[in-house]
């Protein structure tokens, strides 16, 4: 499953190419996971929400992420009037959650950008049998949302941070943006939680999964099964820094290739070759040469150095 760094890599790739493009329409064969949502003022549309007429002619303002969700912010311009003036809806955002097997592929005559899960292969022509939605642009380009296992979703919401968060569901602060104080305060409310499990809880902090929880805990020299109450302030500081360092390194390297992740240029991420703990079982710890251990914990595999990351202080 793509984690925050992988989604960041896709978003950066798409933002460069899609900004300024104008939607011509959309086709989807996936009504159960394709939500047109509600327009401000409750104007009529499919189920009281946005409609294809809102999408047609809308311009891509930019692409960003919130947690692991890709957000395409759009504006509409009124024909015949000042092109700064907007009619009806102020702007809307298309939210796309890749979940386990989502892919986003943009293609026009000159460019192809692909990111997400590598099955089916990202170089397979789209649309194909995993294509759930096809957005068409007036330049002849298409953005395909492919999802083999259909866990992902698409939602249309007004561009309003509160409504966006509501549509995504309860979401903790972003792992790259959370302040030390907020991080420490939130930990203090969960004294009995095991630290690795808590880091992966998206309502605690959003964007961290199995890979970056292992990496951050290794950097901070904290055992994944430690209880929050047992952590010293110095350890909490090291963990807060470790989360950021692990993710920034991964973004710099184009995302991870674990779970066979592939970045927006179609290239495999290189993060695993820089990983200190995740999937490094049996290899010597970079600090102390003790072999990295792997242990099942709360249904996931934790990777850690049994010497640097002690369960008992
Ligand atoms: Zn070690």
Residue 184's CATH number: 1.10.8.50
Q: Which domain holds residue 9?
A: 4-168
Q: How far is the CA of 311 from the centre of ligand 1 (A)?
A: 13
Asked, for residue 175, whether it belongs to a domain, the answer is no
Q: How far is the CA of 230 from the centre of ligand 1 (A)?
A: 20
Q: How far is the CA of 256 from the centre of ligand 1 (A)?
A: 22
Q: How far is the CA of 284 from the centre of ligand 1 (A)?
A: 8
Tell me how many helices (H) and strands (E) the chain has: 7, 12
Same structural domain for residues 142 and 98? yes
Q: How far is the CA of 183 from the centre of ligand 1 (A)?
A: 25
Q: How far is the CA of 310 from the centre of ligand 1 (A)?
A: 10
Same structural domain for residues 185 and 136? no
Task: Output the pLDDT for position 120.
Answer: 77
Q: Cβ distance 266 to 106 under 8 Å?
A: no
Q: What is the mean pLDDT of residues 282-308?
A: 95
Q: How far is the CA of 275 from the centre of ligand 1 (A)?
A: 13
- pLDDT bin (cut points 50, 70, 90) of residue 88 is very low
Q: Is the pLDDT of residue 119 over 80?
A: no
Asked, for residue 313, whether it belongs to a domain, the answer is no
Q: How far is the CA of 223 from the centre of ligand 1 (A)?
A: 11
Q: How far is the CA of 250 from the centre of ligand 1 (A)?
A: 21
Q: How far is the CA of 286 from the centre of ligand 1 (A)?
A: 7
Q: How far is the CA of 204 from the centre of ligand 1 (A)?
A: 28
pLDDT tens sequence across 49-87: 888 888 999 999 999 998 889 999 999 865 544 444 444
Q: How far is the CA of 278 from the centre of ligand 1 (A)?
A: 13
Asked, for residue 312, whether it belongs to a domain, the answer is no
Domain count, the chain: 2
Asked, for residue 174, whether it belongs to a domain, the answer is no
Same structural domain for residues 25 and 61? yes
Residue 153's CATH number: 3.20.190.10
Average pLDDT, the chain: 86
Task: Output the pLDDT for position 83.
Answer: 43
Q: How far is the CA of 287 from the centre of ligand 1 (A)?
A: 5
Q: How far is the CA of 214 from the centre of ligand 1 (A)?
A: 13
Same structural domain for residues 206 and 102? no
Q: Which residue has the tokens 């190419």?
A: 17
Q: How far is the CA of 188 from the centre of ligand 1 (A)?
A: 27
254: left (phi over 0), alpha (psi -120 to 50) or beta: left
pLDDT tens sequence across 122-181: 778 899 999 999 999 999 999 999 998 888 999 999 998 888 988 888 789 999 999 999
Q: Is the pLDDT of residue 217 over 90?
A: yes
Q: How far is the CA of 302 from the centre of ligand 1 (A)?
A: 15
Q: Cβ distance 277 to 284 under 8 Å?
A: no
Same structural domain for residues 186 and 162? no
Q: How far is the CA of 176 from the centre of ligand 1 (A)?
A: 25
Q: Is the pLDDT of residue 44 over 80?
A: no
Q: Which residue has the tokens 């194909």?
A: 128
pLDDT tens sequence across 93-116: 999 998 888 889 999 999 888 888
Same structural domain for residues 20 and 141? yes
Whole-structure pTM over 0.85, yes or no? Answer: no
Same structural domain for residues 164 and 15? yes
Using alpha carbons only, give the angle 123, 275, 188 rounded to the nearest 5 degrees: 115
pLDDT tens sequence across 218-269: 999 999 999 999 999 999 999 999 999 998 888 887 765 444 455 666 555 5
257: left (phi over 0), alpha (psi -120 to 50) or beta: alpha
Asked, for residue 43, whether it belongs to a domain, the answer is yes
């Amino acid at each position: 499953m793509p984690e925050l760094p992988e989604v960041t890599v896709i978003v950066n790739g798409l933002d460069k190419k899609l900004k300024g493009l104008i939607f011509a329409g959309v086709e989807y064969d996936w009504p159960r996971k394709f939500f047109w949502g509600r327009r401000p003022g409750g104007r009529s549309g499919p189920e009281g929400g946005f409609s294809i007429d809102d999408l047609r002619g809308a311009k891509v303002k930019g692409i960003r992420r919130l947690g692991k969700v890709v957000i395409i912010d759009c504006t509409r311009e009124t024909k015949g009037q000042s092109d700064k003036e907007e009619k009806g809806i102020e702007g809307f955002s298309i939210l796309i959650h890749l979940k386990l097997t989502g892919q986003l592929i943009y293609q026009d005559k000159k460019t192809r950008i692909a990111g997400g899960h590598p099955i089916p292969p990202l170089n397979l022509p789209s649309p194909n049998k995993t294509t759930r939605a096809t957005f068409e642009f007036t330049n002849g380009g298409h953005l395909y949302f492919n999802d083999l296992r259909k866990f992902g979703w698409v939602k249309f919401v007004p561009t309003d941070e509160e409504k966006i968060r509501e549509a995504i569901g309860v979401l903790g602060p972003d792992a790259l943006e959370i302040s030390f104080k907020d991080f420490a305060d939130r930990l203090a409310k969960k004294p009995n939680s095991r630290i690795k499990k808590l880091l992966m809880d998206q309502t605690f902090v959003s964007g961290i999964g199995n890979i970056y929880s292992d990496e951050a805990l290794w950097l901070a020299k904290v055992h994944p099964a430690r209880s929050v109450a047992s952590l010293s302030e110095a350890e909490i500081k090291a963990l807060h820094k470790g989360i950021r360092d692990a993710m920034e390194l991964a973004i710099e390297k184009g995302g991870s290739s674990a779970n066979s992740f592939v970045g927006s240029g179609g290239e495999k991420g290189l993060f695993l070759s820089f990983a200190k703990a995740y999937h490094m079982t049996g290899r010597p710890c970079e600090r102390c040469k003790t072999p990295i251990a792997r242990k099942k914990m709360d249904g996931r595999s934790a990777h850690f150095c049994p010497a640097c990351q002690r369960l008992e202080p």
